[in-house]
Structure 1
Amino acid sequence: MADKTLDVIIIGAGISGINTAYRLQEGLPDCSYAILDARSEMGGTWSLFKYPGIRSDADLHTFGFAWEPWKEDRAYADGPSILRYLKKAAAKHGIDKHIRYQQKVLRADWSSGVQNWKVEVLVNQTEKMNIYCRFIVLGTGYYDYTQGLNTKIPGIESFKGTVVHPQFWPKNFDYSNQKVVIIGSGATAATLVPAMSEKVSQVTMLQRSPSYFITIPLSSSLAGFIRRWLPENLALRLIRIRYLLLAYFLVYFCQIFPNKSKEILRKQTESQLPKNIPHDPHFVPSYLPWQQRMCIIPGGDFFAALRTGKANIITDHIETVKEKSIRLKSGQELDADIIITATGLKMLFAGGTKFFVDGEEHHPADKHVWHGALLQDFPNLAFIFGYTNAPWTLGADAASQLFVRLLKGLRKRGMASMVPRIKDSRSVKEVPWLDLNSSYIKAAVEHRVLPKGGDIGPWKPRGNFLQDYMHARWGDITTGLQFYPIRPAQKE
């Protein structure tokens, strides 16, 4: 079974894939495309994750689409609200009609002879088929949908209670009146604590190393004032710009004034803690602010849960897990009916798709990234990746707009394909593509999951939305690229 050759195949119907589809429709309305998704529902992360309290740790004015403004009063939203927003946006612009569900991409083969990709797809987990396209866009996110990060927890196999990973939360899971221990110190753990605290007997966040926490208001009185007095479109645009500037101010202030940032964060955290929980050691990380992602606490609900007495935080190392408890290296023992392993995500590039160029397998981990959107030696392939130090969608949108501009340029020049090339590998020094030292990113680097960054020119990692946006719209898009003309047989 095969299709006619499409212009573009987008892999993934999450926020990155939907946004890319919109940018294609906007910039190249005659472009034929399909979105392939292995699951039966659009939304990516916001469809997959079902754990209590799931929410965005970025405001929806910047995490949402630039072309479909977030109109709710609260700037930070829960998972179901975000999923409804994505579905509504996709339906409004007809993007949902291009999505093909239950189609998992297994491999993609590029042929220089015909200058297109043959994409092998598993349909409904039973039938294989091939689809042909000129371009592939990876909107697959960054983690494995089928496996969590395999963190070694000594003795976990001895536990007689229930062990749950947030990524695979059981349907209708009842944790009422249970003693819950959440292992982890990141955003997921910080979200679960307040969400579960109302029903449980006791919930304890057990962390090996602390994170920075910052409380952000759920909504803004200034945003409300702007919406009250200005036309809606102008008001929403100004609110988005305000949140964009605030996000970057936070990151750059922490990077430029790390000691002052630590002092401010300490004072804010101490003011919200109950008397029985000290600031040290639970909120004193071993790294500087924004060397890892900060835990954003909308409305301060995490600290409110601590103040009720039903939630607690412990900083220690696990010696072993027993049948009904966890023994810590300090000698303390935590009773537990449920253990939640919020220890991170297993990173996976391109959803595990295998790539071949003229019969030779190409591994993304061996290649450098061109302007945060293309891969060295991969013809006509883009990947859409967001920011790690700012709202994801900003980076994803910069990459999507760059891709569409590249397609327009190919048409204008009468070219069929483009390939990022490094003429002399010695001229580019390898640097980390993602500038964070979180444990799950370290694990991905160790296992060669991610592509590489470079120290010069188009190979340097991204990180500044304004620069990336301006480059996507008006910057140099030829350096580091080789272009190949349309072959006679391809011309209509």
Structure 2
Amino acid sequence: MAKPFDVVIIGAGVSGIGMASRLSVESPDHRFVILERRQRAGGTWDLFRYPGVRSDSDMFTYGFQFRPWSNCRTLADGDSIRNYVEDTARHYGVDEHIEFGMHCTAAEWDTQRQLWTITATHELSGETRQWTARFIVSGQGYYRYDQGYRPRFANEQAFQGQIVHPQHWPKDLDCAGKKVVVIGSGATAVTVVPAIAKSAAQVTMLQRSPTYIFSLPGWDRMTEVLGKVLPAERCYAIARRRNLFVWRSTYKLCQRYPKAMRWFFVGQARRHIGDRFRMEDFNPSYDPWDQRLCAVPDADLFKAIRSGKADVVTDGIVRFTAKGLELRSGRQLDADIVVTATGLELQMFGGMQLSIDGKPYDVSKKMIYKGVLLQDLPNFAWILGYVNLSWTMKADMSSLYLCRLFKHMQQHQQAVVIPRDDENSCLEESVLDALSAGYIERSNHLLPRQGRSAPWTVRHDYEEDQQMMMQTPIADTRLETLAAPAPRRGKVIRRAA
């Protein structure tokens, strides 16, 4: 049997490539492999191909801290981000460690051997393969990649046009000269609408309820100017700190002064849209940041509405008709194409089933230790990004913490680490309860739980995480550690002092 890997990283998106790059620098003696289900690196940015797909976080904070984003475009398109992830993998040599097309279906921990066995099926050949590893790092996020959330509407079969979900956008779909209805008001909808409005005859964003939408400059002119007099790395550091301050301050202001921030966002939409602005289309019933804000570059959505190429309708759907949609208000919306930007579905670990010595592990009844290790699960980490900042801000912190953990385990001859809760800390709330988005409410029961206090809380707070993950000692009485079995001797079990 092949020698076990020190680490198996699952997923070659921003989380997996970021983890592998950090590992190659911080712990170059660790043998690792990356198992990626798709045929190329990029994760989300290789999956989503709908028109206009882009980041909804600025790239100076979304990009890797260890490999600065070098473009002044604020919200980058999907192809640029995917290329950036691939370039980073090549730069650190981790592309040579990727096994593509591998759908991980199961991972079982063997206590006696102190090893994980990961089972995967090749997406193209159907071949089943296995890897053994001392540690698993899941960089798969929490979205289901097979399909998005797709509610069924009455009388869909009568519609004579085409119905498309953005997660599976057809390569040959042509919206030129067509009437398009986009169902939804989240990040995908506000991206698709202005992109296809450039060629479509008419685009209507049909929403059940409004979302907070705000405009950012599409090009970072301040950084561009500074780049003429300062080194590139210095410019990046300044832009990153500035944008982090702006995002954190915006979130805190929304939490502290929701009424004032509501009118700020609504007022921005009113100014950009002008006479075509309707309050009921841009004034959500919830407070800012109860759900994630939607960012648009250079007010592109608002400009499309102002020009008349796009429209927003706030209404409910009664049924499909042959030519479009019948709404609760009695209005008829004609359409050649209906885009169901109705959201995503959650799925833990890409559907991979976890077990310990043959017994299934139920993550929905467990907590997360310091936002990265899972309670009662040996040598297993899950990289969870921020919901109120750029995903990679937290993902990179998790990678650094894991590298600290690996060094600590080496120094103290520890083979296994298991977070234990001796204080009955588990609560009913999930780790994403900070948001009330539909995709979270639908699948909250699948997610890990919150704890009463640190290190079992997931607060999505950058300062707290910096303190908890990067400044406190690795050794903790909540971490049970096991030494590797010595010849002719049993396991040594101890708690870290």
TM score, norm. by length of structure 1: 0.96
Question: Could you tell me which amino acid in structure 2 is paired with residue 485 of structure 1?
Answer: A
Q: 8 Å contact 2:175–2:200 — kept in the other structure?
A: yes
Return 5+ residue gaps in structure 1 as ranges.
none
* SS of 1:195 mapped into structure 2: helix
472, 480, 483: which one pairs with 1:482? 480
Runs of 4 or more above 4 Å deviation? none
For 1:468 and 1:480, the matched residues in 2 are separated by 17
Encode CA deviations 1:203-243: one digit per residue, 9 max, x unaligned: 00000010001111112332223222212221211111111
Question: Could you tell me which amino acid in structure 2 is paired with residue 460 of structure 1?
Answer: T
Matched, 1:174 2:166: no
Q: 8 Å contact 1:405–1:472 — kept in the other structure?
A: no
Question: Could you tell me which amino acid in structure 1 is paired with residue 184 of structure 2?
Answer: G
Bigger mean CA deviation after superposition, 468-477 or 328-337: 468-477
Matched, 1:230 2:230: yes
* SS of 2:215 mapped into structure 1: strand
For 1:464 and 1:387, the matched residues in 2 are separated by 8
Question: Could you tell me which amino acid in structure 1 is paired with residue 431 of structure 2?
Answer: W
- 2:5 aligns with 6
Q: 8 Å contact 2:455–2:468 — kept in the other structure?
A: no
Matched, 1:422 2:411: no
* SS of 1:145 mapped into structure 2: coil
Matches within 5 A, 1:212-223: 212-223=212-223
Matches within 5 A, 1:27-426: 27-123=26-122, 124-278=124-278, 280-425=279-424
Task: Give the total of aligned pairs.
Answer: 486
Deviation at 1:428, TM superposition (A): 3.4
Q: 8 Å contact 2:368–2:448 — kept in the other structure?
A: yes
Deviation at 1:125, TM superposition (A): 4.2
* SS of 1:10 mapped into structure 2: strand
Question: Could you tell me which amino acid in structure 1 is paired with residue 305 of structure 2?
Answer: L
Deviation at 1:264, TM superposition (A): 1.2
Bigger mean CA deviation after superposition, 242-251 or 207-216: 242-251
Deviation at 1:489, TM superposition (A): 4.5
For 2:188 and 2:481, the matched residues in 1 are separated by 44
Bigger mean CA deviation after superposition, 292-301 or 233-242: 233-242
Encode CA deviations 1:419-465: one digit per residue, 9 max, x unaligned: 1111243x4333231110000000111xx221111121211113122
Encode CA deviations 1:89-131: one digit per residue, 9 max, x unaligned: 1111101111110111110110110101011111244111211
Q: RMSD of the TM alignment (CA)?
A: 1.5
- 2:492 aligns with none
For 1:3 and 1:185, the matched residues in 2 are separated by 50
* SS of 2:264 mapped into structure 1: helix
* SS of 1:272 mapped into structure 2: helix
Deviation at 1:483, TM superposition (A): 0.8
For 1:153 and 1:254, the matched residues in 2 are separated by 35
Bigger mean CA deviation after superposition, 6-15 or 304-313: 304-313
Q: 1:358 to 1:251 in 2, by over 3 A?
A: same
Deviation at 1:469, TM superposition (A): 2.6
Deviation at 1:277, TM superposition (A): 3.3
For 1:14 and 1:42, the matched residues in 2 are separated by 6
For 2:272 and 2:241, the matched residues in 1 are separated by 29
Encode CA deviations 1:155-208: one digit per residue, 9 max, x unaligned: 223322100000000012111111100000101000011000011111000000
Matched, 1:463 2:484: no
Deviation at 1:479, TM superposition (A): 4.2
Bigger mean CA deviation after superposition, 463-472 or 344-353: 463-472
Question: Could you tell me which amino acid in structure 2 is paired with residue 442 of structure 1?
Answer: E
Deviation at 1:276, TM superposition (A): 2.9
* SS of 2:209 mapped into structure 1: coil
Q: 8 Å contact 1:48–1:167 — kept in the other structure?
A: yes
Return 5+ residue gaps in structure 2 as ranges.
490-497
Q: 8 Å contact 1:37–1:99 — kept in the other structure?
A: yes
Q: 8 Å contact 1:398–1:465 — kept in the other structure?
A: no
Deviation at 1:480, TM superposition (A): 2.2
* SS of 2:121 mapped into structure 1: strand
Matched, 1:452 2:470: no
TM score, norm. by length of structure 2: 0.95
Deviation at 1:154, TM superposition (A): 2.6
Question: Could you tell me which amino acid in structure 2 is paired with residue 167 of structure 1?
Answer: Q
- 2:24 aligns with 25
For 1:341 and 1:3, the matched residues in 2 are separated by 46
Q: 1:469 to 1:26 in 2, by over 3 A?
A: farther
Question: Could you tell me which amino acid in structure 1 is paired with residue 175 of structure 2?
Answer: Y
For 1:121 and 1:310, the matched residues in 2 are separated by 47
- 2:442 aligns with 443
